[in-house]
Structure 1
């Protein structure tokens, strides 16, 4: 019995150490994931339905803090420009400096540098949804921005007559939208533009941000903390049950 008791005590001490390590590691992952996400991402509330169906008015989105020079075609960006208003706006990048953008070709597709672009995210209720506009050249260091809801979006098309052809400076960009955080029914990463769209153009599209890794760290950390904390009571119950059977 003495040897059995010493064995049980040794096993208990080992289990306690493993439990403590799991809880400590879990805390590091959990808090680290939150801090990582808070440093890299900024939450925004979508102000209008101009980006429907990708994001809707009132949705809470997470935008990675990026420099405007990192932005590529197809990105959904948050920007603030006094010409567009005093509040942050959310639109999709259609063209970058030097691009020739026009709408539409015979199939109703927007074109960039003469190449039609497939846009599966665009809300089309009828063939005229795109609202045609003549070819425009995007000035250097500027971005041509459109809403996914082409029927109900005030965007670069409405400012084609100004000096910048409706384009916005890259320096006006404050973030690149990666995911919807609220409501829960829309929770998740934004879909990628698609291989037949901007990814096929020179320069390609942006790689997804690190948000999934941060979320994975938070989830793994929470699991380790809960598992480690639960080990003690479970181990004591198991030991008590074993002693009861032996007695």
Structure 2
């Protein structure tokens, strides 16, 4: 066997090893990302426009499973409460236990404990058509839709004994990002308007890391699977006939 043939065979074996390694690592990333995501996240569909423009009607979102005690102002949460119809609903937390939430100041901004909140995610300038004042009971959350003119939220329940709020225990998850439709894909921005209030705002979950792992795994699997046959074919083309 010629030296060229032995060299090509050596390269072929190395290529096979690297190809197998790429596929193995890809499988770990791809499957691991899906399993990790299934443990941490739950998909939901938002059927109405009450959270527009942040979440479009019909959008598919990924919500991180969290305990209600972890929820902070500004979070978009999935909750279920009998007073609200006992079905999964998606709203934004604007007040927590002890807060005095009101609408609105002279610039049409929502106020929390007398502090105006700049809500960049709203589609209009006004936080609400209706003036209101509410004190949130301890252990409760005051929830509003981002589309204030079309959302059935805590304002509709102000006459209730709990002043329109829901218990923290009603929260199932916190929305981290949108996965469908493709034009809306991405992480939800954390609302800086609430950052100056005590407790600050929550940090994003690992959705970006999970997506990166799954995509990287898929690329490695496809690339590794294609490399072996391609390397062997190129090797055969380089070997002269009769060698």
| Length-normalised TM-score, structure 1 | 0.93
Question: SS where residue 95 of structure 1 aligns?
Answer: strand
1:113 alignment partner in structure 2: 113
Q: Is the 8 A contact 1:47 1:89 kept in 2?
A: no
1:51 alignment partner in structure 2: 51
CA RMSD of aligned residues (A): 1.6
In 1, Cα distance between equivalents of 2:49 and 2:61 = 14
In 2, Cα distance between equivalents of 1:13 and 1:239 = 11
2:11 alignment partner in structure 1: 11
Q: Deviations over 1:99-132 (max 9, x none)?
A: 11111001110001111000011121x65x6123
1:205 alignment partner in structure 2: 201
In 2, Cα distance between equivalents of 1:14 and 1:243 = 17
Deviation (angstroms), 1:136: 1.6
Residues 1-247 of structure 1 aligned to structure 2 (within 5 Å): 2-124=2-124, 127=126, 130-194=128-192, 197-244=193-240
In 2, Cα distance between equivalents of 1:150 and 1:222 = 41
Q: Which runs of 5+ in 1 are unaligned?
A: none
Deviation (angstroms), 1:246: 9.8
In 2, Cα distance between equivalents of 1:244 and 1:177 = 61
In 2, Cα distance between equivalents of 1:58 and 1:149 = 15
Q: Is the 8 A contact 2:194 2:201 kept in 1?
A: yes
Question: SS where residue 225 of structure 1 aligns?
Answer: helix
Q: Is the 8 A contact 2:190 2:202 kept in 1?
A: no
Q: Is the 8 A contact 2:96 2:140 kept in 1?
A: yes
In 1, Cα distance between equivalents of 2:166 and 2:28 = 41
Deviation (angstroms), 1:241: 2.1
Aligned length: 243
In 2, Cα distance between equivalents of 1:144 and 1:245 = 79
In 1, Cα distance between equivalents of 2:63 and 2:132 = 32
Question: SS where residue 83 of structure 1 aligns?
Answer: helix
Q: Which runs of 5+ in 2 are unaligned?
A: none
Deviation (angstroms), 1:140: 0.7
| Length-normalised TM-score, structure 2 | 0.95
